[in-house]
Amino acid sequence: MLVVGPSSEKLGQKISKILRVEPVRLIHKTFPDGESYFRVTDKVGGHVVLVQGTHPPQDRHLVQTVLLCQGLRDLGADRLTVVMPYLAYARQDKTFLEGEVVSLKVVINLLRSSGVERVITVNPHSPWALQDGLISFKIVDAVPRVCEYLKHLIERPAIVLSPGKKGEAMAREAASVLDVESSHVKSFRDPERGDVRVEIGVGDLRGYTVLLIDDLISTGGTMIRLIEAVRSMGARRVIAACVHGLFVGGADSKVFRAGADMILSTDTVDTPYSKVSVAEPIADLLAYLR
């Protein structure tokens, strides 16, 4: 049984079409004070899959998830899987400064205590932190799809650059789909101020199309630093691609102003740049789940 939550309406409908499963009927209202109300008007039982991302406003979407999960369990769901295309709080997967709350751990505990057994998510920020066994996580990698989309839009010579801890593998993966060069970028974020600094290991990019790819564009800070750096190295065309486009506080306009020719994201979060859909790989995974 498929339940499409309010935060992932479009993606949920796409998944339902691919799987040819009519979603469970759900009434959702918001009370005048902002609280969510849900009523499930179909009978529920067996394995229930809820599609509900926790992109911004993440606290609201998270509470809706918990309400729905506990509710579905109470109504008869024997097993509960949540498709959470964007997993909130995954960036606070450890203590960076003394005294910090490890939010990801709290979120996992919350989901578990709401009856969730399994989460399907897309390119989470910290895959290594999802293996504590409390919930089984299945991860969809959207990078090959993003690159397939770009295959005919990238002119040679071209290079893929990707920042951060996962950047090296992501850049290599993207470059192999596109059959172009790749390089890793070191990125450093000040844990208190949040400022980002990047170090790119290539010198001259004159004449190059540069694909900058990251799992996430949130404030755009990282992407903007990258764009400025590659433009100063002579890049001819710059594509800013990501899996999750949060574009907080007009980050998309800032990314364009910094010199991107194109922004591309998937539909884990529905934005004007969501040209690549993750519905198919998620549906493929669901089709084989028991």
Give the nearest distance from C-beta 163 to ligand R5P in angstroms. 5
* 221 touching ligand R5P, by CB under 6 A: yes
- The rounded Cα 85 to chain-centroid distance in angstroms is 6
Contact partners, residue 82, CB within 8 Å, separation at least 6: 49, 50, 51, 52, 65, 69, 111, 116, 118, 119, 120
* 163 touching ligand R5P, by CB under 6 A: yes
* 164 touching ligand R5P, by CB under 6 A: yes
* 245 touching ligand R5P, by CB under 6 A: no
Instruction: Give the residue with the Cβ less far from ligand R5P, 40 or 216.
Output: 216
Output 18-26 pairs: Cβ under 8 A, ≥24 positions apart.
Answer: 18/279, 18/280, 18/283, 19/283, 19/286, 19/287, 24/48
Instruction: Give the residue with the Cβ less far from ligand R5P, 26 or 223.
Output: 223
Judged by CB under 6 A, which of 11, 40, 61, 214 binds ligand R5P? Answer: 214
- Which 8-state DSSP code applies to residue 155? P
Judged by CB under 6 A, which of 218, 265, 266, 268 binds ligand R5P? Answer: 218
Taking contact as CB under 6 A, which single stretch among the options 50-58, 72-80, 128-136, 208-216 is the one that binds ligand R5P?
208-216
Number of residues that bind ligand R5P (CB under 6 A): 13
Give the nearest distance from C-beta 50 to ligand R5P in angstroms. 26
Please give the C-alpha separations between residue 118 and each of 78, 121, 260, 286, in angstroms, as whole numbers: 12, 10, 37, 11
Please give the C-alpha separations between residue 72 and each of 41, 43, 78, 115, 241, in angstroms, as whole numbers: 11, 10, 9, 9, 36
Q: Quick check: bond before 144 cis, omega within 30?
A: no
Judged by CB under 6 A, which of 88, 216, 227, 230 binds ligand R5P? Answer: 216
Instruction: Give the residue with the Cβ less far from ligand R5P, 252 or 267.
Output: 252
User: Which residues from 223-242 bind ligand R5P, rule CB under 6 A?
Assistant: 223
- Terminal alpha carbon distance of the chain: 12
Alpha carbons 187 and 43: distance in angstroms, whole number: 50
* 220 touching ligand R5P, by CB under 6 A: yes
* 217 touching ligand R5P, by CB under 6 A: yes
Give the nearest distance from C-beta 191 to ligand R5P in angstroms. 12
Which residues of this chain interact with ligand R5P, rule CB under 6 A?
163-164, 196, 214-223
